[in-house]
Structures are given as structure tokens and as C-alpha cells.
Amino acid sequence: MPRPEYSLLTRTDLEMAAVDGVVESLESWIQVRSPQNPGYYWGNYLLLPAVPEAQQLESWIDRFREQFQSDSEVEHVLLRWDGVALTPQAQAQASALGMIEDSAPAMIATQLIDPENLDVEVRPLDFEVEFDRFEQLSQQCDPNESSGSSQYKLFKERIRQSWRRRVRAGMATWWGAFLDEQLVGQCGWVSCCDRLGRYQAVETHPDFRRRGVCSALVSTVGQDALGRGGCRALLLMADGEGPALGLYRRLGFEMDTIQRALLLGGDSMVVRQEVAADHAEVRSLVQAAFEGVEEAQLIDQMRGQPGVLSLVAVRAGSILGHALFIPVTRSTAESNCPPAVALGPIAVRPSQQRQGCGSALIRDGLDRCRQQGIGAAFVLGDAGYYCRFGWRLAQQRQLHCQWPNSGTNFQVLELSAGGLKGWQGEVRYPAPFDRF
């Protein structure tokens, strides 16, 4: 059987993996393993010749486990391929097997626009002298590292050490972006065969995002590679639902293909409180989920307000969903009325919907509200969906909200005995909600 023609980015993936890992051709597929980082999903996988069909999935899972059975630390299964999406039948079978879909656009550019922020100094880092600065910025850019599992922290530390080895061996260069001598952005650069080059781990400090740092970094590094470095094409893998995709397109990148994967096992999903470093990713996620900006703007307005609970669901360092719980009040004041909240908006990445993320956010948020002494939670949404969490029509308790014709969708859940004592009439959402 002839070998499939893999995308340029996948070809560089294989080239890089072979440096400190193992890339082995087996019949019609390729096995990639990273012995020094067995918890790295995208470093330990089977690269399939084509999109798997529904009836093939179980055999591919068995094949992965057979190939990796000697690696006790590899607790996941990852199947990768380029291009075509799963059929609906394969999606249903993957879900039944507990597999999670993942995908990312492989992007390419042959020329880039000039950087807009000329105040940013971009230069290669000296890892022997500046590794601590690189490591600190890496940790600041990923809030999941401080709150995540021990396995995730170990994975990130091993990733950084692998880059240190590559830079020391002359196989990669690490670039930094500086403002007033402060390292505020960084990325790796690797020159590959066939005059291809690729970016790795493009990061910007949370306090300096949306200020042109990333544009200056990517543009400067890329133009150096196309000029002095002699590259014919620049490659990177983007988050297809993340905030940087539009930036890359504005710089001159175009989509080459979609790298796709199915993941089974590994890190479980964790729900935690949102932090400042999450804001850009949450904003992009919400816009993608609602296909507009109003909900994201509303969340921006409500952040930091008294009584607001903002949660994110995270797996393997990626934010999959977001939920906001906001305080509500009665239209007429009454003393000794237990506090109450309302859920909304709640958003899940389009690629991760119907996989339990929204339910996890809701249940975790309700538990946190109970622990904080909140008496009741309201929601405005599909009664058929929210009834599974215990919500019931609010009008049965003589309660309604400020929006007319919402009676069948406005629901309430009592979180503690007597949690609705004194609650009747109109329930008021905060003023930013009035425009909806």
C-alpha cells in the first residue's frame, strides 16, 4: 500500500519527534513515541493513513495499546490523521467508546507583513543565561500549571527541558519579545528539511496581550527565517477556536489542512475558577460558541463584580468551556431574603459540545454556590435540558424575570432548605443584562 501524502506540518512533526523520540513505520501507519515524556498526548500516538471508520475504531485502540504496552506511563490512546473529519457514524461510535475529538488547523505562510509594534524588541534568547526567564514566562502563560494535576506539571517541565536540549544542540532557537527589558513574549523556532521552518509554543504574558506583542514576535521571527534563514515556508499549528487564529491570518498565514485526533483516557477534565490569564481564551471560546460578541462583552463587564462566580473547564491545559454565575435580586426589597444567583452565559467549545463539559461546569458551579450559602439558582434556557439538574419552572413559585414571554424558560432550583424564603415576584438580573 502506498504511503499517504502527509501535510507539511505533520511531516515536520515526524522529523522533530525523531530527534529525541522514536518514529517507526508499521504496515500502513506510523507509530510515534516520546520516551522522555510519556504523558505528552501529541508526542505518543499512531498516525493513521486516513480518517478512521466507525467499525475500525476498536481495532485501532487495541493496536495502540499493543504497541505501547511496554510504556507503563502512557495512560492514554491517541489516534491522529490529516484532513477529513469523522463521519457521523464514526463520531457516534467514538463517543460511545469514550473518545474525545481534537483538531487544530495547520497553517502556512510564505511571506509576512511587517510588525506593527515597533516598541517591542525581538531577539534570540540565550538559554544558558536566560532559561529561568523563559521558564517563568512559560508558567505565567499557563495558569493550569499551578492548578493542574501533578502529571500535567511534570509534562510541562519535561517539555521545557526537551527544548533546552534542542537549543543546546543547535536544533532550535528560542526567541523573546521584550518591553523595557521585561520578557513579555516568546516562541521556539525550528529549521526543518526541505527548507521548511516552524514555530513552537508562541506565548504572550497575560498582562501584555492585545498590545501587538505576539504580532511583532511572529512577524520578526518569520521574516528572519525567510530572509537570513533561507526558509521557503513557515508553518505553525494554531488553536482553531483560540484567540490567535485571526492574528495569524492577518499576518499572512493561510490554512493548509486540519490535523485531527481522537483521545481516550489521560487527564480528566477539571473545573476551576477563572484567572486573568484565561480571559483571552475564554473570550474567543464564547464568541465561537455563540457566533457573536455580545455574550463575551457581557462576561467582560461582569468579571470582578461582587458575588460573580466565573468558572472554566480544563483538560490537558486547554479551556473547553466557561460558565458564569451572577447574583440576582428581587424587584422589591425584603430583609432576611437568602441570596440567589443565576447561571448564564454558559459556553462550550463547538468541537467539545455534547461531551459532558457543560454538565460538569453546571454541577461544579451549583456545588460551589451551595458551599457559599446561596439559597437558590435561576436559569433562563431550555427547560428540557436544565430539568436534569433539578431546575423547575419559576412561575410555579410565583417568580418571573424582567424579560416578557420567558415564563416557560425561566426556571429556579432551590439549593438549600428554605432557600427561596421571601422570594416572589420579579427576579432582577444585573444592569448589563438589560440589553438582551
DSSP string, 148-204: S-HHHHHHHHHHHHHHHHHHHTTS-EEEEEEETTEEEEEEEEEEEGGGEEEEEEEEE
Written as nine digits, the cell of 314 is: 480544563
Cis peptide before 345 (omega within 30 of 0): yes
Question: Given phi > 0 = left and psi -120 to 50 = alpha, else beta, which region is 177?
Answer: beta
**Mean pLDDT calculated for residue range 181-209:** 95
pLDDT at 242 over 50: yes
**Domain 121-231 architecture:** 3-Layer(aba) Sandwich (3.40)
Q: Which residues contact 56 (CB under 8 A, 6 or more apart)?
A: none
Question: Which of the given ranges, 23-27, 120-124, 424-428, has the highest pLDDT on average?
Answer: 120-124
Find the helix or strand (DSSP H, E) in which 313 lies.
strand 309-315
Which option is the CATH number for 270-435: 3.40.630.30, 3.20.20.70, 3.30.460.10, 3.10.105.10?
3.40.630.30
Q: Which residues contact 170 (CB under 8 A, 6 or more apart)?
A: none
Written as nine digits, the cell of 379 is: 436559569
DSSP string, 208-223: GTTTTHHHHHHHHHHH
Please report, rounded to a whole number, the percentage of residues in the chain having pLDDT higher than 70.
98
User: What band does 99 get if pLDDT is binned at 50, 70 and 90?
Assistant: very high
Q: Which of 39-53, 87-101, 184-198, 323-337 has the lowest mean pLDDT?
A: 323-337
Residue 333 has what pLDDT?
Answer: 54
pLDDT at 169 over 50: yes
Separation between Cα atoms, residue 340 and residue 329, nearest integer Å: 7
**Mean pLDDT calculated for residue range 247-270:** 91
Residue 2 has what pLDDT?
Answer: 53
Question: Which of the given ranges, 20-29, 144-153, 169-178, 266-275, has the highest pLDDT on average?
Answer: 169-178
Please report, rounded to a whole number, the percentage of residues in the chain having pLDDT higher than 90.
74
Written as nine digits, the cell of 82 is: 490529516
Residue 1 has what pLDDT?
Answer: 45
**Per-residue pLDDT tens digits for 348-360:** 998 888 888 999 9
pLDDT at 394 over 80: yes
Residue 232 gets which letter from DSSP? S
User: What band does 315 get if pLDDT is binned at 50, 70 and 90?
Assistant: confident
User: What band does 39 get if pLDDT is binned at 50, 70 and 90?
Assistant: confident
Same fold, 121-231 and 270-435: yes
Find the farthest-apart pair of alpha carbons in the chain and give their distance in angstroms, rounded: 77
Identify the CA nearest to 311 among candidates 379, 358, 266, 350: 358
Per domain, the residue ranges of the chain are: 8-105, 121-231, 270-435
User: What band does 3 get if pLDDT is binned at 50, 70 and 90?
Assistant: low
Separation between Cα atoms, residue 394 and residue 376, nearest integer Å: 11
Contact predicate 318/145, CB 8 Å: no
Separation between Cα atoms, residue 364 and residue 272, nearest integer Å: 9
Quote the pTM value: 0.84
Separation between Cα atoms, residue 287 and residue 120, nearest integer Å: 29
Find the helix or strand (DSSP H, E) in which 350 lies.
none
Higher local confidence (pLDDT), 46 or 119: 46
Q: Which residues contact 304 (CB under 8 A, 6 or more apart)?
A: none
**Mean pLDDT calculated for residue range 218-229:** 95
Identify the CA nearest to 31 among candidates 19, 17, 20, 12: 17
pLDDT at 106 over 70: yes
